[in-house]
Amino acid sequence: MQRRTLILNYSIACALALAGCSSVPSGPGWTTLIDGANGLDNWNMVGDANWRVQDGAIVADKGAAGFLVSKNSYKDFTIYAEFWAATDTNSGIFIRATDPKKIGADNAYEVNIWDIRPDPSYGTGAIVNFAKVPVPIVNKAGGQWNVMEVIAQGTSLTVKLNGVTTSTVQDSKFPSGPFALQFGPGVNNVTGGPIKWRKVMIKPS
């Protein structure tokens, strides 16, 4: 009886944990760029991260820094991304990049995934230099699978993590461009934790 109770409680906990997450999108207009182990050839690699297929996802855990850059440019869109990060992972989704060969926060909107960023106001869920998150960071990503949604409509940018809106801003600095998935250095340029992308989809609008 005790074991059945523990299993039931675990199942309920899992269901509650997933309740706030968005379901995988379906319907016309969506393009799937990563689907489990498939999709690495849909991207241009920039930098020296060791992107590879592992355990049903696209993974990086070594290298100074690197990006998977979309081959197409986008203006208005919704991105749906399932990812796993460690507590010390430095990653993110850079959107509307103006230079696809040199991705950075100075030429794109950086939607951050970094629970222990030295400046936590631009940590996980923030748009670096444009939209802060409350400190201490409430919505963290480390140690679990997450769903991140990025909605760009004209000057309006919105970020959601596991169904919760973490940041929103009105800005026109970067109007369009490719988007990129990051593996970045950790604190003091020490190699950060791994990033795993299990599903990445985009719907232009």
pLDDT tens-digit map of 177-188? 999 999 998 887
What is the three-state SS of 81-146?
Answer: EEEEECCCCEEEEEECCCCCCCCCCCCCEEEEECCCCCCHHHCCCCECCCECCCCCCCCCCECEEE
Mean pLDDT of 166-193: 93
pLDDT digits over 61-98, tens only?
999 899 999 999 999 999 999 999 999 999 999 999 99
pLDDT digits over 83-142, tens only?
999 999 999 999 999 999 999 999 999 999 999 999 999 999 999 999 999 999 999 999
pTM: 0.89
User: CA angle at residue 111 from 65 to 199, to 5 degrees?
Assistant: 80
Q: What whole-number distance in Å separates Cα of residue 130 and Cα of residue 75?
A: 18
| Mean pLDDT, the chain, whole residue set | 91
Provide CATH code, domain 2-204.
2.60.120.560
